[in-house]
Homo-oligomer: A and B are copies of this chain.
Amino acid sequence: MNDHSLFAMKQNKNKEKYFRIIQAATRVFARRGFYQAKVSEIAREAKVADGTIYLYFENKDDILISLFEEQMKVVLQNMREQVAGLESPVQKLERFALCHLRLIEQNKDMAEIIQVELRQSSKFMKSYKNEQFAEYLDLIADIVRAGQQEGLFKKAILPDLVKRALFGALDELSRYWVLSSHRKYDIETAAKQISDTFLYGLAADSGKISAEIQGKRERRLR
């Protein structure tokens, strides 16, 4: 638990207001970007006074950090559950790609904060390491390592590198989706293209990957 959560814990008297401010901040940051967004706008959106914000958060940066941590907690938990129900690394990777891109549909503002605004905002973010974000990436690395152990993926693949490549690929598509007004493909198509590209790209034997992907389809038809 870091300093920011500690601050929030101290102000724990009114969780409803704390989360209301966080939700409001999500919308305002998504709409305006971190730097253009004003604390007074967040206060108005949350229906509290400007000064109330400082009863719950240390400063404007703290709002963004707290928001990210709260939201990342949800995202990580959800992704863990999605992936846990599957046995095969192939299905896990497919599910990861789909769920990650699905964030956009489920909560556009939240997706924008996580994918567009936060990791971008400023130099101070360079020194901010979010453990949950690292764990999110490690989900990918764990899938890759499992695939290597089962002989599905090449031994020469570096999981810590591939996790970033896959995340980067998904993230770029998310960003495009968020920023773009007309989209030429839907989320399912995009997820499938990316997961297939990575699965066949990592494959020790592409026949085995096809079988795993086909295997999933047959299980569905039963």
Contact = CB atoms under 8 A, between A and B. Distances in A.
Contacts of A158: 184-185, 189, 193
Question: Copies per complex?
Answer: 2
Contacts of A171: 168, 172
B179 A161 contact: no
A162 B197 contact: yes
A15 to B, nearest CB: 30
Contacts of A193: 157-158, 161-162, 165
A214 interface: no
Interface string A20-64: 000000000001110110000000000000000000000000000
Interface in A183-201: 184-185, 189-190, 193-194, 196-201
Contact of A197 (B176, B185, B202): B202
**Chain A binding surface SS class:** helix
Interface in A110-127: 116, 119-123, 126
Contacts of A164: 169, 172-173, 176
A200 B31 CA distance: 39
A130 interface: no
Interface size class of A (residues with CB under 8 A): 35 or more
A77 interface: no
7 contacts: A35-B35, A161-B185, A166-B169, A168-B173, A169-B169, A200-B206, A206-B206
The 9 tightest CB contacts between A and B, nearest first, are: A168-B172, A120-B120, A201-B201, A197-B201, A165-B169, A33-B123, A168-B168, A168-B169, A200-B201
Interface of A: 31-33, 35-36, 116, 119-123, 126, 157-158, 160-162, 164-173, 175-176, 179, 184-185, 189-190, 193-194, 196-203, 206
